Structure 1
Amino acid sequence: MAHSIFRFPYYCGLPGCENICRYVLGGYYPVHIGDILHNGCYRILQKLGNDSFSTIWATRDEQEQRFVALKIPVADARSSLETTILKTLASSGSKHPGISYLHVLRDEFELIGLNGTHSCIVTDVYGVHVGLDLENRCVSLNASAARRLQQQVLQALDCLHQYGIVHGDLYSGKVVWTVPGVNSLTEEKFLRFFKTHRLKK
């Protein structure tokens, strides 16, 4: 009897890669570096990450001339609670100090593809995950930096709690370093910073 991995010969099994078998009806939208989506608005630069239900892409907003993150969920994803939460926060006018540490919804749109209709969200692009960054550099935070980071995370959580929102999956992979002046970077420097897939010209 063959090992189960041979049932799916195109499954890469590598960390950071989605299951290629989900590129079917109801599954992932096939994205290519350089694709231009949503009536010429968003140009795909590189992949930022993925989970079981979506892929996330570093994208150039050609209208606003800024870098953004585009999250494309699988087509059979249920209505997005994330979108509802982001809309609530965006319309809140909150002065809570924690609001500045939360995602900002910039746009939402539907993307129709071979595998179905995908309800996409666009947010600011932030930076690298804290846990992954520290692990890759084999370092830990000093006490002062750890306290500052903890304070910011707690302020963000307190802000969510004020709106009756509970984050059910918080760990270092959900916390990112911000990149000061990210939109003043050239595209080349932006791509170099994230060090993932390079844009092929």
Structure 2
Amino acid sequence: EDITFYMPGGYHPVRIGEVFSGTKGDYRIMHKLGQGAFATVWLAQTVSSRAFVALKIPTAGEHGFDEAEMLELANTAAGSDHPRVSEFINKIPIRGPNGLHCGIVTDVVVPLASAGVGFQPRWWRKEVVYGMVQAMAQIHRADMVHGG
């Protein structure tokens, strides 16, 4: 990863074993899952129940707080028990050397590329697409629109 992303307004430095505290619990960092232009994503474990979660830490600034609010709204509108919508668990304000970040705790989701979609039978790929359509329909019923 490019170390220049760790600058004011950029990534928040994270250490394996570090604990982040939110209003709904504490989360211990276990492993780095990945990074993109605007965030790093970490596998974490709740300190209380040892359940695995994903902790996304966007670059510093307001966009992380906006994303957390949208995820929370989508989860509330879709119903937190909807099987096709990722579960929003918590948001954590994180102040660090590069600014204020909004950590977003969700259930752990595996990217389709990592799941070997191309090697799965056709019926399985159809089920995945069907599930994606169901999730989008649920979000649209809640008057939310997904865009890229």
SS in 2 for 1:75: coil
- Identity, in percent, stands at 31
**Corresponding residue of 1:10:** none
Deviation at 1:27, TM superposition (A): 1.0
In 2, the alpha carbon distance for the partners of 1:143 and 1:168 equals 27
Deviation at 1:160, TM superposition (A): 1.3
Gaps of 5+ in 2: none
Which residue identity is paired with 1:129?
Answer: P
SS in 1 for 2:105: strand
Gaps of 5+ in 1: 1-16, 170-201
| Cα 1:38–1:68 shift into 2, 3 Å | same
Deviation at 1:165, TM superposition (A): 2.3
In 1, the alpha carbon distance for the partners of 2:134 and 2:76 equals 19
**Corresponding residue of 2:120:** 141
In 1, the alpha carbon distance for the partners of 2:18 and 2:31 equals 10
In 2, the alpha carbon distance for the partners of 1:119 and 1:148 equals 34
**Corresponding residue of 1:108:** 91
Matched, 1:73 2:55: no
CA contact (8 A) 1:37 1:43 kept: yes
How many pairs are equivalent? 146
Rg: which structure is higher?
1
| Cα 1:146–1:105 shift into 2, 3 Å | same
| Cα 1:124–1:79 shift into 2, 3 Å | closer
TM-score normalized with structure 2 length: 0.86
Matched, 1:42 2:21: no
CA contact (8 A) 1:53 1:77 kept: no
CA contact (8 A) 1:23 1:29 kept: yes
In 2, the alpha carbon distance for the partners of 1:155 and 1:93 equals 11
Which residue identity is paired with 1:107?
Answer: N
Matched, 1:27 2:10: yes
CA contact (8 A) 1:54 1:71 kept: yes
In 2, the alpha carbon distance for the partners of 1:85 and 1:61 equals 23
Deviation at 1:79, TM superposition (A): 5.1
CA contact (8 A) 2:93 2:101 kept: yes
Deviation at 1:163, TM superposition (A): 2.1
**Corresponding residue of 1:118:** 101
CA contact (8 A) 2:6 2:13 kept: yes
Deviation at 1:93, TM superposition (A): 6.4
Deviation at 1:166, TM superposition (A): 2.4
In 2, the alpha carbon distance for the partners of 1:119 and 1:168 equals 21
TM-score normalized with structure 1 length: 0.65
| Cα 1:23–1:51 shift into 2, 3 Å | same
Deviation at 1:84, TM superposition (A): 2.0
| Cα 1:91–1:130 shift into 2, 3 Å | closer
Which residue identity is paired with 1:134?
Answer: G
Q: Which moved more, 1:99-108 or 1:150-159?
A: 99-108
